[in-house]
Structure 1
């Protein structure tokens, strides 16, 4: 509890420092909203033209998109600088993180904290509209709401774990942008759509090696397509914890290999 209170205190200080530049904050939020809206509209236009993709309707694809968008926004809000660890490694500023009398990961997560309002709001709107349409058609009922909330929480933890493991590689390579493009950006973008679209080997990779498929696709099969029992919603959160523990163990090992690049 002491560490949690300290984390909240550091977040508050980070937010205060960022709000010194309110115009920049508003501009970046609007720009992010425009990018994510354009991204989903491209998919929606295709689906409106052809009706479905591999048997997945527009509402079902929107459900996948909304979940992973909200999960990503939660992860990036609470652990923004985990994703940007390389800037600390290149400059040598990671040394100052190590010197703080608190766990290194908490110190890093409290740096430059910002809530991604644009992604959160858009993801929520898309998800709510998709679920509303499916409820009206009788595809799902109100029980899908709490199950979806659990799915979002476990999805955020999985994305955070993937980001943490990717960042840890930086202790050996220093630069991690190219690796992040593959493990975070490209993999997450692929998981916005039904995994049936991809070859079996790639689908398997998105469910095991880079398990972004567990954030939305696997739970969606149980919640909205009723292809598996609801036991899936109990298994996925447990797997997310296991994935996090593996990533955290890798992180702790990676810190022991850190060599300062500063002066």
Structure 2
């Protein structure tokens, strides 16, 4: 409850800051919306040249893409770690964080949140809804509950991987380009995994499990039973990777020696 109250207070302060520049805040929302729309256009262009993608119809691929947007939007809203190295290591702000009686990772997460990225949840929901309407999906009463569980599992997978990558900065003061590369790899999860080579399928499932943040859960919601066991493993994989990420962070903090020469 202490951390929850602290999160609410950080959120209030963030909104006060952002509302001081309402135009900029609105433009951020609009730009995020159009960026996600451009990716949807790419899928539509692909299906102008083929009726299906390895057996997946246009509506099914669009549904998977819509689902993919939701865990990504939640992750990027509350674990916005892209500028950690520059802000907290090079500029020395991590020293300030470490003097406070709250876990350092929790503080960094609360200080770098970007709630405007939650527009992706709305965009993803609309895309899924339109695609699902065309597919005439028949969900059971527990499917919405599984949708929530799958989404949280996907967020945890993102969190674990990117926290682990961010912790590398605790060992060096040089900038790293690993996170942008990992972001590009994560985009593979928004398409059916079986369209890739088997090596890539294995990588996206068991090494960098981005298939669990998009394809596997979405395929279950699309009633593709052959991927059911993978979809149900999503929260387990998420918990495992989050634990790994936090472990890497805690080890890195112990190694961190502070700012200065």
Once residues 63 and 83 of structure 2 are traced to their aligned partners in structure 1, the CA distance between those partners, rounded to angstroms, is 28
Matches within 5 A, 1:145-224: 145-175=144-174, 177-183=176-182, 185-224=183-222
Once residues 93 and 228 of structure 2 are traced to their aligned partners in structure 1, the CA distance between those partners, rounded to angstroms, is 46
SS at match of 1:56: coil
Which stretch has the larger CA shift, 139-148 or 36-45?
139-148
Q: Is the 8 A contact 1:140 1:223 kept in 2?
A: no
SS at match of 1:213: helix
Aligned to 1:124: 125
Which stretch has the larger CA shift, 70-79 or 58-67?
58-67
**How many residue pairs align between the two structures?**
258
TM-score w.r.t. structure 2 length?
Answer: 0.90
Once residues 158 and 222 of structure 1 are traced to their aligned partners in structure 2, the CA distance between those partners, rounded to angstroms, is 18
Matches within 5 A, 1:53-64: 53-64=53-64
Q: Residues 120-167 of structure 1, C-alpha deviation per residue, up to 9 Å, x if partnerless? A: 221111111122222x2xx54344433223211211111111111111
Distance 1:215 1:2, change over 3 A: same
Once residues 161 and 173 of structure 2 are traced to their aligned partners in structure 1, the CA distance between those partners, rounded to angstroms, is 17
In structure 2, runs of 5+ residues without a counterpart are none
Q: Is the 8 A contact 1:63 1:130 kept in 2?
A: yes
Aligned to 2:250: 252
Distance 1:42 1:169, change over 3 A: same
Aligned to 2:73: 73
In structure 1, runs of 5+ residues without a counterpart are none
Q: Is the 8 A contact 2:67 2:218 kept in 1?
A: no
Once residues 225 and 178 of structure 1 are traced to their aligned partners in structure 2, the CA distance between those partners, rounded to angstroms, is 38
Q: Residues 26-79 of structure 1, C-alpha deviation per residue, up to 9 Å, x if partnerless? A: 112211211111111111221244221111111221122112211111011112
Q: Is the 8 A contact 1:74 1:156 kept in 2?
A: yes
Once residues 176 and 188 of structure 1 are traced to their aligned partners in structure 2, the CA distance between those partners, rounded to angstroms, is 21
Q: Is the 8 A contact 1:76 1:83 kept in 2?
A: no
Aligned to 1:109: 109
Distance 1:104 1:79, change over 3 A: same
Which stretch has the larger CA shift, 218-227 or 14-23?
218-227
Which stretch has the larger CA shift, 170-179 or 49-58?
170-179
SS at match of 1:241: helix
